[in-house]
Chains A and B, each alone.
Chain A
């Protein structure tokens, strides 16, 4: 475990840390990649509609089936297991579908990626235009303070906020007002910093479409004098988000920031098959960040191929959280503290040129 410099971080995307990241070359930097022969990588990158069509049929069927169960058993305790399943499928597995289809790797056929991407974005209350650009930035500048728009837990960590994230309350409270603001044509300065001007109007239009559906859902609920429409559309973002947070938080939490090696700031965790289906193999997260062209269904194969060059994966989510917890507690006092994961002897060493850089000094200037 490591302590670097000791200054406050500025997580704004247009602030001191942003300027510093650009000046020092941390922004849009060249990142470390494990060597993989071109022929092998080409095979791994190959697209196929088959696995994603199969998984999407299962996903949609399970969503419709559990929704039918909610409607049928509404008013009795038998509705609880259906709410549990529907909530996770709607509020959590939509995140991985959004992610993979946003990359365009889930399906070979572009329109299939686009359809599932927009559906999943709606389920997540995410503006599909805005988030496509924010995620591109996340891959360019992964956990670079002042550049990455998707840093889930900032330093020093707000543990109450992190705990509340499992309930979906904070995200709901954050996501819905953003969509409303965007629907009125207002994009924040941060959003404008990563959405190109020529795309900004599309973000506004997308937000308006989302709001139309939500207003229609509320109208139907009022007309029917029933909570069911809202339980099926919108509220799963509250009661079904926990699995997305459970798996997603582990991607980068407690690891280094302001480095240009995904082995230092990203975590791979072995997970059970159900979570892997919900999460679409994003537990192989170092592999995904290093090679975002590889579809989710090929990530286990990629993992086997390059694991000699990566830190040992956490054997379970429980193990990973046990590893992270003391790091978060230390970060409450020393926000520069982070977990530096050891590489196996077969791996190439970490690059040093950026990793000791005092990027956060800018915030104190």
Chain B
């Protein structure tokens, strides 16, 4: 069942960047791609508990700040060692300048 929550304002995220969003004891990462689209994933790397929001966004890749593990943040796909487990992604929509994610 869908559960849309407001994560941030559109302007809170720079292009080709990521921010952290905490809600209900969970941590998410909100991305803005170079072509100005928004995406959301779990906030922690699946390898070890590092905040992806401290990492580097390059095109459609988020690189974990701890061990440089890479994911495609649009699909959640792990791109090779040291990350082997895909990242969970969440639907995103924009309404009235706000970024909403479906955490349901």
Pick the most buried of A46, A103, A104: most chain B CB atoms within 10 A of its CB. A104
Contact residue among A42, A103, A133 (Cβ-Cβ distance under 8 Å from B68): A103
* Contact yes or no, A108 B58, CB < 8 A: yes
Chain B's closest residue to A140 (CB) is B48
**Which residues of A (27-65) have their CB < 8 Å from a CB of B?**
28, 41-42, 45-47
Is B26 an interface residue, CB under 8 A from the partner? no
Taken together as a complex, chains A and B put the C-alpha atoms of A293 and B84 apart, in Å, by 19
Is A1 an interface residue, CB under 8 A from the partner? no
* Contact yes or no, B81 A293, CB < 8 A: no
Taken together as a complex, chains A and B put the C-alpha atoms of A198 and B47 apart, in Å, by 13
Interface size on B, residues (CB 8 A): 18
Is A196 an interface residue, CB under 8 A from the partner? yes
Pick the most buried of B48, B54, B68: most chain A CB atoms within 10 A of its CB. B68
User: With A104-B68, A104-B70, A105-B68 in contact, do A136 and B58 touch (Cβ < 8 Å)?
Assistant: no
Flag the segment in B3-11, B36-44, B59-67, B87-95 that touches A.
B59-67
Chain A's closest residue to B61 (CB) is A110
Is A199 an interface residue, CB under 8 A from the partner? yes
A279 to chain B, nearest CB (A): 19
User: With A47-B58, A103-B68 in contact, do A133 and B48 touch (Cβ < 8 Å)?
Assistant: no
Q: Mark B46-62, 1 if CB is under 8 A from A, else 0.
A: 01110000111010000
A121 to chain B, nearest CB (A): 13
Contact residue among B17, B49, B82 (Cβ-Cβ distance under 8 Å from A132): B82
* Contact yes or no, A28 B58, CB < 8 A: no
**What are the residues of chain A within 8 A of B17 when measuring CB–CB?**
42
A161 to chain B, nearest CB (A): 29
* Contact yes or no, A28 B48, CB < 8 A: yes
Taken together as a complex, chains A and B put the C-alpha atoms of A196 and B63 apart, in Å, by 20
Task: Kindly state the interface size class of chain A when it binds its partner.
Answer: 20 to 34
For chain A, what secondary structure do more than half of its interface residues adopt (helix, strand, loop), or is it mixed? helix
Chain B's closest residue to A293 (CB) is B65
Contact residue among B49, B68, B70 (Cβ-Cβ distance under 8 Å from A292): B68
* Contact yes or no, A199 B66, CB < 8 A: no
A114 to chain B, nearest CB (A): 9
B32 to chain A, nearest CB (A): 13
Taken together as a complex, chains A and B put the C-alpha atoms of A139 and B69 apart, in Å, by 13
**Which residues of B (14-28) have their CB < 8 Å from a CB of A?**
17
* Contact yes or no, B84 A292, CB < 8 A: no
* Contact yes or no, B84 A196, CB < 8 A: yes
Chain B's closest residue to A108 (CB) is B58
A45 to chain B, nearest CB (A): 5
A-B pairs, top 8 by smallest CB distance, nearest first, are: A136-B82, A45-B56, A136-B67, A104-B68, A103-B68, A293-B65, A132-B81, A293-B56
Q: Which residues of chain A have a CB within 8 Å of any CB of chain B?
A: 28, 41-42, 45-47, 103-105, 108, 110, 129, 132-133, 136, 139-140, 196, 198-199, 291-293
Q: Can you identify 24 A-B contacts, CB atoms within 8 angstroms?
A: A28-B48, A42-B17, A42-B56, A45-B56, A46-B56, A47-B56, A104-B70, A105-B68, A108-B58, A110-B79, A133-B81, A133-B82, A136-B67, A136-B82, A139-B66, A139-B67, A140-B66, A140-B67, A198-B84, A199-B84, A292-B65, A293-B56, A293-B63, A293-B68
